[in-house]
Amino acid sequence: MQELHTYTPHSRIRRILGPLFAIACVLATFSGVVVLSILLGSVLSTGLGHQAGRPWYHLPQNAWDLGQLLLSLATKTPGESAQTTGFRVGVVSSLWLLGLVTLFAVPVGLGAAVYLEEYVRPGRFKAVVQTNIANLAGVPSIVYGILGLTLFVRGFGFKPFALGYSIWSGALTLSLLVLPVIIIAAQEAIRAVPTTYRQAALALGATRWQTVRDHVLPAALPGIMTGLILSLSRAIGETAPVLMVTQASSLLNPPRGPGDQYVPLPLEIYNYAKYPDPADQTLAAGGILLLLVLLISMNAVAIVIRNRSGRLNRN
């Protein structure tokens, strides 16, 4: 009788704690939204002040004028004053880095995830590899910067292997940074695919690779795209590792190839934000707006691809 009493539902306590827990969750959600709104509002009001130094209430009041202002910031090169300066060098450098990181990290990350999930049997080897990948995902980014400085910029002291302070070094360093995140996200997406998909394909005579290529990867594509966009967004917004693998703090002309020096957009924002002049800090806020637009555009593309692939899988 005592055991039955122990597991008796406490209906009164549930009636009280249930609504309290729901209210606490709502407050936690709205607190995050409020803090984010305050940060975005501060960046907008400060960044829009870049236009001739006028206060926010005299600035563009519609989307067209705002687009023209952001386009001006994205196409101007460093000038003599904050009002005539733009982030063309940073935008081009960041796009170079983004393209090369995608080229290096995405195939390697997806290949590693497919190999670990579809081809490696559970055992000590897989456990060791998984543990190390999880540990690498939590390593501070500045450590990757030091690794990139030693491995790619200086080539361990061997000049034939040294890439110098070029876009190659920055892209390879950022690829190492986001590779564990890509692998973990892709593994989770592949693991979520029902086993019946694999069994049905194998029963019809498909090989292991055909099963993965034609059934598993298309079904896992929405989750894979989510992990990729989060990883690439982290790469394009990193500053600490880039500080270690770039030499220039400012350039007059954008890079023309992966062998040139570069100054990515987050580093340019950092350089302007540390100056005490309010005009430079306003310019840094304008750079943050450009970075936000770039990140939102990347997320929008990923959402479109994810939704289309999910719709095709349902059909």
Domain match, 48 and 117 both: no
Domain match, 147 and 47 both: no
What pLDDT score does 4 carry? Answer: 52
DSSP 238: -
Residue 160 in any domain: the answer is yes
Non-local CB neighbours of 61 within 8 Å, separated by 6+ positions: none
Would you state the structure tokens that stand for residue 48, as one six-digit string? Answer: 């829009």
CATH, residue 154:
1.10.3720.10
What pLDDT score does 137 carry? Answer: 85
Distance of CA 155 to the CA centre of its chain: 27
Which tops the pLDDT comparison, 57 or 195? 195
Instruction: Give the span between the Cα atoms of 57 and 45, in whole angstroms.
Output: 9
Containing structural domain, residue 29: 2-59
Inform me whether the pLDDT recorded for 31 exceeds 90: no
Cβ count near 245 (within 10 Å): 29
Residue 67 in any domain: the answer is no
Query: pLDDT band at residue 52, thresholds of 50, 70 and 90?
Result: very low
Inform me whether the pLDDT recorded for 1 exceeds 50: no
Would you state the structure tokens that stand for residue 259, as one six-digit string? Answer: 């062998």
Domain match, 39 and 115 both: no
Domain match, 26 and 90 both: no
Q: Report angle CA 216, 219, 225 to the nearest 5 degrees.
A: 110
Distance of CA 45 to the CA centre of its chain: 25
Instruction: Give the span between the Cα atoms of 9 and 16, in whole angstroms.
Output: 13
Residue 79 in any domain: the answer is no
CA distances from 314 to 21, 153, 213, 219, 303 (A): 35, 47, 17, 9, 16
What pLDDT score does 101 carry? Answer: 92
Considering only CA atoms, which of 98, 97, 91, 88 is closest in space to residue 253? Answer: 88
Alpha-carbon dihedral of residues 267, 271, 274, 277, nearest 10 degrees? -140
Domain match, 134 and 236 both: yes
Inform me whether the pLDDT recorded for 9 exceeds 70: no
- In the predicted model, what is the mean pLDDT of residues 80-87? 68
Residue 65 in any domain: the answer is no
Query: pLDDT band at residue 8, thresholds of 50, 70 and 90?
Result: low
Non-local CB neighbours of 260 within 8 Å, separated by 6+ positions: 166, 167
What pLDDT score does 207 carry? Answer: 86
Domain match, 181 and 293 both: yes
Inform me whether the pLDDT recorded for 62 exceeds 60: no
Residue 209 in any domain: the answer is yes
Domain match, 20 and 157 both: no
How many domains are contained in the chain?
A: 2
What is the pTM (predicted TM-score) of this model?
Answer: 0.80
- In the predicted model, what is the mean pLDDT of residues 159-164? 83
Residue 75 in any domain: the answer is no
